[in-house]
Amino acid sequence: MKETVSRRKFLRGSAVAAAAAAGTVAAPSIARAEPTVLKMQAAWGGGIFLENAKSYVDRVHAMAGKDLKIDLLAVNAVVKTSQMQDAVHRGVLDAAHYVPAYWYSKSKAASLFGTGPCFGWSSQEVLGWVNYGGGQELFDELMGTLGLNVVSFFNSPMPAQPLGWFKEEIKDASQLEGLKYRTVGLAADVMLQMGMSVVQLPGGEIQPAMKSGLIDAAEFNNPTSDRDFGMQDVSKHYHLASFHQSQEFFEITFNKRKFEKLPAELQAILKYASEAENSNFYWNNTKRYAEDLAKLRTQGVNVYRTPDSVMQAQLVAWDAVAGRIAGEDAFFAKVIDSQKAYAKEVMGYLNLNQPDYKLAYKHYFS
């Protein structure tokens, strides 16, 4: 009897096990969706700006997980820097990391989004105008007018760019007359207005051009990049502070059709990762710039603050250039009016409220 019961239990257990095994074999496999991959080219071949582009990509990856990947490519990987916007428009690239000054030849108004006149504001306030003063809407209007199939976000408020590297100390604006000088964007018009002969070159060509005598003076952006380029090997006179490009930031642009096909949450990640990078850029880069400026000094570089008289002459040149273009281009004038209204209100408050930080600095570190 016991043997019969045991045999029945054994057969019943075997049947259950077999059924379970059969169910396991028969269950369909669930395929995991492949992540969306965006091909983004940067305008940077290396250095701190490529690090900044990677930092943005890392933030996207951290938030999007396995759903979205950005394949970051260095400068000229697919197209030349001057062709990047068109490549994104056509879908040859899905995205680009650069600055509006690199495509301003399509529209002078492009330079107003980061490299325009200084109305007493810094890059921080210009980004405030972009996000809360109507700037983004005006940029989108410009893209529509130009027929460009792109969506752009702006981030990383840069400190004012140095006047740059010269063969001698600049004490007066008259010394700039006739100098062959490297800059880009609308700043080229300003320096031409001041009597300089302007050559527009990509970053990697600046140092060799100055070494060979093709140019007499140059600026790029910051002490870290300048030191990486080896500018200290071709000049020992470095002037900080200038109004020629006193505010600038990165533009991250996406193919609009590709962007709009993404789920809403991934679109939001691309946007808010850009905002998050604002803070990281400022904290990281200002520290690096300060460190590399100190290193340049140890390499025999004479560092000066550009005289106020030179910067006042730059403001006069800006007035002439902006006034001329606004008279020819109604949209340019519309953007300028919007910026002035924002700067007057916001900087009116900040100038009243902000203490003189230089006064405190001198008190402790004179």
> How high is the pLDDT of residue 203?
82
Write the DSSP assignment of 172-227 as a string of letters: SGGGGTT-EEE--TTHHHHHHHTT-EEE---GGGHHHHHHHTS-SEE--S-HHHHH
Q: Are 234 and 220 in contact (CB under 8 A)?
A: no
Residue 208 pLDDT > 90: yes
**For residue 184, what pLDDT is reported?**
86
| Maximum separation of any 2 CA atoms in the chain, in Å | 117
pLDDT at 147 over 70: yes
Exposed / middle / buried, residue 94 (Cβ in 10 Å: 0-12, 13-18, 19+): buried
Place of tokens 């273009």: 325
Interatomic CA distance for residues 182 and 159, integer angstroms: 19
Question: Where is average pLDDT lowest: 25-29, 93-97, 232-236?
Answer: 25-29
Cα 358 from chain centroid (whole Å): 28
Q: Tell me what pLDDT residue 130 has.
A: 97
State the DSSP string of 18-57.
HHHHHHHHHSPP-PPPPPEEEEEEES-SSHHHHHHHHHHH
Q: How far apart are CA 13 and CA 163, in angstroms?
A: 85
Q: What is the pLDDT of residue 15?
A: 45
Residue 25's pLDDT is what?
Answer: 46
At residue 31, the pLDDT reads: 52
Q: Which of 95-104, 183-192, 344-353 has the highest mean pLDDT?
A: 344-353
* Cα–Cα distance measured from residue 184 to residue 189, given in angstroms and rounded to the nearest whole number: 9
Cα separation, 127 vs 188, whole angstroms: 22
For residue 117, pLDDT beyond 70: yes
Query: Which among 78, 55, 59 has a CA at the least distance from the CA of 68?
Result: 59
Comparing 3-7, 198-202, 225-229, 234-238, which segment has the lowest mean pLDDT? 3-7
- Write down the domain spans for the chain: 36-159+248-300+328-365
pLDDT at 151: 97
pLDDT tens by residue, 57-112: 999 999 999 999 999 999 999 999 999 999 999 999 999 999 998 898 899 999 99
CA distance 16 to 133: 70
Which contiguous run of DSSP H or E holds residue 71? Answer: strand 68-73
As its CATH architecture, domain 36-159+248-300+328-365 has 3-Layer(aba) Sandwich (3.40)
Hey, what amino acid is at 228? D
% of the chain beyond a pLDDT of 90: 85
Give per-residue pLDDT as tens, 239-250: 999 999 999 999
Residue 32 confidence class, pLDDT cut points 50, 70, 90:
low
pLDDT of residue 105: 87
Residue range 186-207: average pLDDT? 91
pLDDT in tens, 297-316: 999 999 999 999 999 999 99
Neighbours of 337 (CB within 10 A): 11
Would the pLDDT of 21 be above 60?
Answer: no
Window from 13-27, 200-214, 282-296 with minimum mean pLDDT: 13-27
